[in-house]
């Protein structure tokens, strides 16, 4: 396929998967029309990049469904000047979307080979405001904290305590919280030091494995 074909598929993805399901934030829609999702995938499945599903990226991990990326991003209410922490880099696609919409993105991946691939891909495309770190993201990044926004893109039994500590007052955290094989998308806002939760769509993510997530 040619670059223009991918662009057409990407526009179609926005028109058929995102707008009809209620994604309204114009900046999110623009980013989803722009970021070349197919480049974050193994070549053998690029032709499926703009389909309405999560897809395998190796190491038993997945790149999230476009709609889920859009919903989570919209819930973050990014205006452009935020410092964002993502836990679960995976392919790096969500990080690229965040990089379009925020000032600075720190993204942590526990599987070193995925972190390397994502970093290379983000660099090739030209993102200069994303930092990929290979480590256990449940601990966060104390030396870069506090963050205006935190997004966890793996399923967690609870919002990890260290991440709550690293969220700014008035900040927003979005994460799939629940059981190992089914979760609810939770948005927490930090108000007077306490996380006030809102519950959104049911979802299924791969597990967050680490000190403050699942044990293995």
Could you list the residues that contact ligand SAH (CB under 6 A)? Answer: 61-64, 87-88, 90-91, 93-94, 108-111, 114, 136-138, 153-154, 206, 208-210, 213
Beta carbon of residue 191, minimum distance to ligand SAH (angstroms, whole number): 26
Q: How is residue 204 written in tokens?
A: 């299924």
Closest separation in Å from C-beta 52 to ligand SAH: 15
CB of residue 11 to ligand SAH, shortest distance in Å = 20
Of the two residues 9 and 133, which places its CB atom closer to ligand SAH in the complex?
Answer: 133
Q: Which is nearer to ligand SAH, 2 or 149 (CB)?
A: 149
Query: Considering beta carbons, is residue 12 or 112 the nearer one to ligand SAH?
Result: 112
Least separation in angstroms between CB 144 and ligand SAH: 15
Kindly calculate the radius of gyration of the chain based on its CA atoms and give it in whole angstroms.
16
Residue closer to ligand SAH by CB (options 83, 208) is 208
Residues in contact with 100: Cβ distance below 8 Å, sequence separation at least 6, in sequence order:
27, 30, 31, 34, 35
Q: Closest by alpha carbon to 205, among 188, 189, 181, 186?
A: 181
Residues 48, 159: Cα–Cα separation, whole Å: 32
91 is catalytic: no
Nearest to 167 by CA among 80, 77, 85, 81: 85
Is the C-alpha dihedral spanning 111, 200, 82, 102 positive or negative?
Answer: positive
The residues annotated with a catalytic role in the active site are: 64
């Amino acid at each position: 396929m040619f670059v223009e074909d991918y662009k057409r598929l990407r526009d179609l993805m926005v028109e058929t998967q995102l707008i009809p399901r209620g994604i309204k934030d114009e900046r999110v829609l623009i980013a989803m029309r722009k970021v070349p999702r197919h480049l974050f995938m193994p070549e053998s499945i690029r032709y499926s990049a703009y389909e309405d599903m999560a897809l395998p990226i190796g190491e038993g991990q997945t790149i999230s469904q476009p709609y889920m990326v859009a919903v989570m991003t919209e819930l973050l209410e990014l205006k452009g000047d935020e410092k964002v922490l993502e836990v679960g880099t995976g392919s790096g696609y969500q990080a690229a979307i965040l990089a379009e919409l925020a000032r600075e993105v720190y993204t942590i991946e526990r599987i070193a080979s995925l972190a390397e691939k994502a970093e290379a891909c983000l660099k090739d495309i030209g993102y200069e405001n994303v930092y990929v770190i290979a480590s256990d993201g449940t601990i966060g990044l104390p030396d870069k904290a506090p963050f205006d926004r935190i997004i966890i893109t793996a399923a967690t039994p609870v919002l990890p305590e260290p991440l709550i500590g690293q969220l700014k007052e008035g900040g927003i955290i979005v994460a799939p919280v629940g059981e190992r094989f089914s979760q609810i998308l939770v948005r927490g806002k930090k108000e007077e030091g306490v996380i006030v939760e809102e519950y959104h769509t049911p979802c299924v993510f791969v597990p967050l494995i680490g000190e403050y997530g699942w044990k293995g």
